[in-house]
């Protein structure tokens, strides 16, 4: 049954995050599910999304036409793939719906397209929607600003064996924060994928390592390794609901904002 509550479309409805979001919206008294999207050809298309998830009917059929679904909604919550997210950014802007982007692995040209779409609508994008990680971003920036290049910075992350991108979106957020704290550009100091005779570590570099295995939800360490001591800032996620909760909070937060690109630091009011 449709009510006056803000309508949310979930893209990637059958995905790990998609299903988590749909369950959480179903339990909420602040929003309603008005659309569930999957990629063309997916075997959930045309089925009730609640039933496809193995539960009670939700009264929303899974569809593959984004524009029609977005036109009926106040927000689009999107955890899919870079190509899909770029397409959705243009269409959500056309529909003037808030676009919450959790998708990671976005290339520089994808980010440009998203920036362009944000001229016309509110976009909230973050490689990690959890409160803890966004606090860790702030802490990382502060610690990096306080310590000089005698401290080598390494970001180490672990995720489940289905993850397709590396470094994780979170690792890149943490690397960006460390670079900002140091007053350098991450592009100039990023050191990824060491293998073979790499030579000694370059002073000032920010290193990234990725572990993939099992069902790890997401773990991140920022290591500051100095002479005689090592400082480790760590976040451990044990449940995807924390990402979904953050994304839905962002969808509501964005309703009265002016067009532009925002992040979870804005949503959570963590700006210093
Ligand atoms: N920002 C965060 O807090 C956060 C948290 C978890 C995951 N993620 C990111 O979200 C993304 C999805 O993660 P996941 O674990 O749910 O992946 P997943 O593979 O389980 O789900 C992705 C879903 O998107 C669907 N999809 C792909 N193209 C589509 C299209 N054109 N239209 C509609 N649906 C489409 C796929 O069919 C799939 O069901 C990844 O990039 C991941 O890194 C971000
Ligand atoms: O499961 C994933 O994929 C996750 N992706 C985000 C990232 O790339 O950092 C957030 C954690 C989970």
Whether residues 117 and 136 fall in one domain = no
Using pLDDT thresholds of 50, 70 and 90, give the confidence band for residue 271.
Answer: confident
Give 30: exposed, middle or buried? Use CB within 10 Å, 0-12, 13-18, 19+.
exposed
188: pLDDT strictly greater than 90? yes
Provide the pLDDT for residue 193: 86
Predicted-assembly ipTM surpassing the 0.85 threshold: yes
Name every protein residue with a CB atom under 6 angstroms from any ligand 2 atom: 104, 127-128, 159, 163, 168-170, 218
Provide the pLDDT for residue 3: 82
Provide the pLDDT for residue 1: 60
Q: What is the pLDDT of residues 122-168, one digit of tens each?
A: 999 999 999 999 999 999 999 999 999 999 999 999 999 999 999 99
Whether residues 263 and 183 fall in one domain = no
What's the rounded Cα separation, in Å, for the pair 21 and 138? 26
2 located within any domain? no
Whether residues 65 and 98 fall in one domain = yes
User: Which bound ligand lies closest to the C-alpha atom of 40?
Assistant: 1
Q: Is 2 annotated as a binding residue?
A: no
- 118: CB partners within 8 A, 6+ apart: 89, 93, 259, 260, 261
Q: Which atom of ligand 2 is closest in space to residue 237's alpha carbon?
A: 11
For residue 160, give the CATH number of its domain: 3.30.360.10
- Global pTM reads 0.98
Residue 207 CA: distances (Å) to CA of 11, 139, 189: 33, 18, 8
Task: Provide the domain limits for residue 250.
Answer: 7-125+240-268
Whether residues 244 and 232 fall in one domain = no
Task: Kindly give the distance from the C-alpha atom of residue 81 to the centroid of ligand 2, in angstroms, as a whole number.
Answer: 12
Per the structure, the count of domains in the chain is: 2
94: pLDDT strictly greater than 90? yes
Whether residues 91 and 28 fall in one domain = yes
Instruction: Kindly report the protein residue whose alpha carbon is nearest to atom 32 of ligand 1.
Output: 39
User: Which bound ligand lies closest to the C-alpha atom of 159?
Assistant: 2
Whether residues 83 and 145 fall in one domain = no
Question: Which residue among the candidates 30, 116, 120, 159 is catalytic per the annotation?
Answer: 159
1 located within any domain? no
- Clarify whether 159 is annotated catalytic: yes
Q: By percentage, how much of the chain surpasses pLDDT 90?
A: 98
- Clarify whether 119 is annotated catalytic: no
SS3 70: helix
Q: Is 17 annotated as a binding residue?
A: yes
Q: Is 127 annotated as a binding residue?
A: yes
Whether residues 23 and 103 fall in one domain = yes
């Amino acid at each position: 049954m449709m009510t006056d509550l803000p309508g949310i479309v979930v893209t990637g409805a059958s995905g790990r995050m998609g299903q988590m979001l749909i369950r959480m919206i179903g339990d909420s008294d602040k929003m309603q599910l008005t659309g569930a999207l999957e990629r063309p050809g997916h075997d959930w298309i045309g089925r009730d999304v609640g039933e496809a998830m193995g539960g009670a009917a939700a009264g929303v059929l899974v569809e593959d036409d984004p524009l029609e679904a977005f036109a009926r909604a106040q927000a689009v919550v999107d955890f899919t793939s870079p190509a899909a997210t770029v397409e959705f950014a243009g269409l959500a802007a056309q529909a003037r719906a808030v676009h919450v982007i959790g998708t990671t692995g976005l290339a520089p040209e994808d980010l440009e397209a998203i920036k362009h779409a944000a001229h016309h609508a509110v976009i909230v994008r973050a490689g990690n929607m959890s409160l803890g990680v966004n606090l860790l971003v702030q802490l990382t920036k502060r610690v990096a600003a306080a310590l000089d290049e005698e401290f080598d910075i390494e970001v180490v992350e672990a995720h489940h064996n289905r993850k397709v991108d590396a470094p994780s979106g979170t690792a890149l957020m943490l690397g960006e924060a460390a670079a900002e704290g140091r007053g350098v550009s991450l592009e100039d100091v990023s050191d990824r994928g060491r293998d073979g005779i790499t030579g000694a570590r370059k002073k000032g570099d920010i290193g990234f390592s990725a572990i993939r295995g099992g069902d790890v939800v997401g773990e991140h360490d920022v290591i500051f390794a100095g002479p005689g001591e090592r400082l480790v800032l760590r976040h451990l996620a044990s449940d995807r609901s924390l990402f979904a909760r953050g994304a839905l909070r962002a969808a509501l937060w964005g309703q009265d904002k002016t067009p532009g690109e925002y992040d979870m630091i804005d949503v959570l009011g963590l700006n210093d």
